[in-house]
Amino acid sequence: MMLASEAEPYAKTGGLGDVVSALSRGLAGSGHEVAVVLPLYETTTRVLANRPQRVVSDNVSIRLGNQTRHVRVIRSDEDSVAWFFIDDPEYFGRPGLYGTSDGDYPDNAARFITLVRGALAIAADTFKPDILHCHDWQTGLAPALLKTGQDPAHPPGSLPTVFTIHNLGYEGLCGREVLAAIGLPDSLFNVYGLEFYDKVSFLKGGLIYADRVNTVSEAYSREILTPEYGLGKEGITNLRKGDLTGILNGVDYERWDPRTDKLIAANYSADDLSGKRKCKLDLLKEFGLSEADAGRPILGLVSRLVWQKGVDLVVAAAPEIVKAGGLLTVLGTGETGLEEALKTLAKKFPGEVGVHIRHDERLAHKLEAGADIFLMPSRYEPCGLNQMYSLKYGTVPVVRATGGLLDTIQPWDGETGNGFRSSGESRDAFVKAIHEALDLYRDREAWSVIMRNGMSEDHSWGRSARRHLDIYEDLLQGS
């Protein structure tokens, strides 16, 4: 059973939604019985409206401190996966998954303990899993409840747990008083429990109490053991070092393949790249740029617009990109300051910088297909998916050497390699890597080689799913 706060197509804000969905389908496709438990968000209701569904239970009681909530459980089966949804309109029937532009919802602790309690109820009565696989901070209390005997239906040790850290920077911090509010004993508030610098950390619940912990790339599993990337939790991650694994995420090539992608202007392959030019013309049109500039390199970015992603470095590098003859296209939402900075760039460089401040899956596919170069200067990147999408679409990545970007992008050496890497966090280092890419772009023969190098790689979910199965089997065998 997968327990998560989002999964495509029902709810998605980032890579977590892609990963939970693709891993679940990959495991189911290998013959395993897989369930996914999600909140029934407002957006999820709209997606489910076009799918077969049934009510599993009209009245699941969830105890939260002094109150009892009553939720419905809805099921929908698709791609051999059983999808369960916790229907609590007061908590989940909101426009945003985690909050609004003003910040996180103040009752997120109660919202996601409701998700956890609802999932454990399903695991006790409806879909009885061998393994509970929890994803990110929103589900971190599930291993804590199970390990400490706080779930009446599951004696300690009866349901093994795996906890995946998709991003150590998001941890679900709450005040100590939240324990009583959600019905947990104060005894869990200690340095070897949920306490983190006098706060309750949902993420720490997963880190401390899960039977196994994994991250979404091998490099990131090493990085989080260090002060630079541990974000104050390196003591905890080192405590679990023996149970910590890095497994690189995969790509769902049924959705991300230029040969079959229905969202792009023309299909193409490594053997026939002619369709990429049509995609490039289409991208220029989508961003209000001139088709007469189709000979210029297009540099693209699809991202949450946040500091972690290095978007400020893209803003700082934009004048240099334009000066060097490039065009810049950006798609995403995030921090207000970065959104405004990008809008200002578009006004300063009309016809050369195009910006869409929104989440748009259709346009994300078009940008991957139509751009020549993809930018990912992340300060840290647990895995990253867009660089792997870019490789498949012949869109050469320029990345910072960290986490999953370090695992997947190999520098061009004249014959081999699939992209360009910068080190450090400076604008100058990033600009230098961009210039290296632009210089190679002018050599059309060499550029076709680096494009095809990336397009020939296989980052599908098969290898990743097998490594997850190894962890599950080890747990079931008690090793």
Q: Provide the residue-wise pLDDT of the chain in tens; the chain has 479 residues.
A: 999 999 999 999 888 998 999 999 999 988 999 999 999 999 999 999 989 999 999 999 998 888 899 999 999 999 899 999 999 999 999 989 999 878 899 999 999 999 999 999 999 999 999 999 999 999 999 999 999 999 989 999 899 999 999 999 999 999 999 998 888 899 999 999 999 999 999 999 999 999 999 999 999 999 999 999 999 999 999 999 999 999 999 998 989 999 999 999 999 999 999 999 999 999 999 999 999 999 999 999 999 999 999 999 999 999 999 999 999 999 999 999 999 999 999 999 999 999 999 989 999 999 999 999 999 999 999 999 999 999 999 999 999 999 999 999 999 999 999 999 998 889 999 999 999 999 999 999 999 999 999 999 999 988 899 999 999 999 999 85
Distance CA 340, CA 346 (A): 10
Fold of 274-457: Rossmann fold (3.40.50)
How do 34-39 and 2-3 pair as beta strands? parallel
Q: Give the residue extent of every domain in the chain.
A: 2-250+462-476, 274-457
Helices 444-455, 427-441: crossing angle, 10 deg rounding: 110
Rounded (5°) CA angle 213-148-107: 80
Residue 178 CB neighbour total at 10 angstroms: 22
Task: List C-alpha distances in Å: 393 to 9, 127, 147, 202, 342.
Answer: 22, 39, 44, 37, 25
Q: Which amino acid is at 474?
A: D
Quote the CATH superfamily of domain 2-250+462-476.
Glycogen Phosphorylase B; (3.40.50.2000)
- The pTM score is 0.90
Rounded to the nearest 5 degrees, what angle is found at the Cα of 246, between the Cα atoms of 210 and 313?
A: 115
Return all residues near 31 (Cβ < 8 A) that are at least 6 apart: none
Q: 450 and 309 in contact (C-beta within 8 Å)?
A: no
Among residues 14, 11, 16, the alpha carbon closest in space to that of 135 is found at: 16
Q: Kindly report the backbone phi and psi dihedral angles of residue 364, in degrees, each rounded to the nearest multiple of 5, phi listed first.
A: -60, -40
